[in-house]
Amino acid sequence: MRGDKFTKAVVITLLCVVASYLIFSVTRFSGSSFTTYKAVRYEVGDGITTSGFLVRSEELLQGDGGSIVVPARTEGEKVGKGQIVAATYRSEAARTRQEQIEALETEIAQMKYAHSFSASDLESATLDNDILRLINQVTRSAARREYAAADKSAEALKPYILRRYINSNDADVLWARITAAQDRLNSLRAEAGTEAGAITAPVSGWFSAVTDGYESELTPAFLETATVAALEKFEGISRRETDAVGKLVTSPKWYFAAVVPSQNVAELEAGNRIDVNFAYDFYGAVRMKVERISPTENDRCILVLSSDAYIQNAVSTRTQTADLVFADRSGLRVPKTALYVNEGTSGVYVLEGAEAKWKPIEILYDNGDSFIVVLDKSSTRNLWPEDEIILTTEEIFNGKVMIK
């Protein structure tokens, strides 16, 4: 009898323990309403979009009285002092005659060069190697947008190809063609007389056939002291007629100046470098130096940037729209609704197995509905890409079992 009572007491005790465990499980480990969001890499640029002016050291080129001016250089091409930058003609007929003269001069030079190859040169692999080398030069120059260099290599290629496809029996025929072309050239030169002229570079620089009439006003010296009001006078400017036939940019250093809200450049100072993406003429970002931030006027100031690269792209355009990127912030994107603060430390809970695990975070940037936080792979205790961040409105703590 006493044994039955003992057994009953044990059963009742076990039932109480089981009931207590079930109640504890329901309260502590009950299913929670939650979703997860994977931590992903994210990059954001801090900057603004604005319009401004390209400013250079420029010297205008004056004509020699010829009614027709034809540039002899491409836009942005570097020329030395005394080199021809443009040809002038008294009439259209004179221009056509000069074009014929130049074409014949080139043709004769190429034919003479081709004729100078010996039979051994033709039979060797050297000729084919030279052709391949020049083709590669043309391709590389074109890819870098160095069109003047590409044209030069293409012209040098012609006599090699010509010689590659003639045999020894063709040599006499080729020389006869050279003689006939030379006679024609002498005749055209005699007819030309003084109908054609040339404009030479007074100094070395980068050539442009484009002038706008503001070369003496929008200068590097002007930017050193310009006020917001002074620069705004040039907004909406249109090209002004000048007597110049072109210009030379005499320094590789050029500037971009824009009126911007002063609050947007509050963290910048002279000497900083930022990336600038121009709307056209440039391919890719241009790394530029902050030269000056003018005093604030009505919450605005002038931001002056400079570069000593890509001058060949900057010789013609006066106004440009650009994206100014002050800083690139990269890290992990975390929804604001996932953020918790425990004892002064910001962090999130991530799902590991079936439990919530606390991971501290360092906020870099407020991105609206989310934060960009530091990606620190020095420890698995930090937040990593692909971690499943827990989003829930219910109570959560480190170690809580999360069962949907």
Q: How many residues does the chain have?
A: 404
Q: Which domains does the chain have, with CATH numbers?
A: 48-59+209-328 (2.40.30.170), 91-194 (no CATH)
Helix (H, G, I), strand (E, B) or coil at 299: coil
pLDDT of residue 117: 63
List beta partners, residue 59.
Answer: 248
H or E stretch at 70: strand 68-71
pLDDT of residue 46: 72
pLDDT of residue 256: 97
**Alpha-helical segments (H) within 227-341:** 228-232
Q: Going from the first residue of the chain to its last (404 residues), give the mean pLDDT of each consecutive group of 10, the final group possibly shorter.
A: 52 52 46 81 80 96 77 91 88 80 82 66 62 82 72 74 64 81 84 76 95 94 96 90 90 97 91 91 89 96 96 93 83 92 92 92 85 89 92 89 79
Q: Count Cα neighbours of 396 within 13 Å in the Cβ-side half-sphere.
A: 28
d(CA 281, CA 386): 40
Is residue 37 a contact partner of residue 386, using CB atoms and an 8 Å limit? no
Is residue 293 a contact partner of residue 270, using CB atoms and an 8 Å limit? yes
Sheet holding 205-208, edge to edge: 58-62, 244-249, 205-208, 78-79
Q: What share of the chain is helix, strand, coil (3-state, %, to 5)?
A: 35, 35, 35
pTM value is: 0.60
Return all residues near 264 (Cβ < 8 A) that are at least 6 apart. Answer: 48
List beta partners, residue 84.
Answer: 200
Rg (CA), the chain: 38
List beta partners, residue 248.
Answer: 59, 207
pLDDT of residue 80: 95
Beta strands, E only, 76-201 = 78-79, 84-89, 196-200
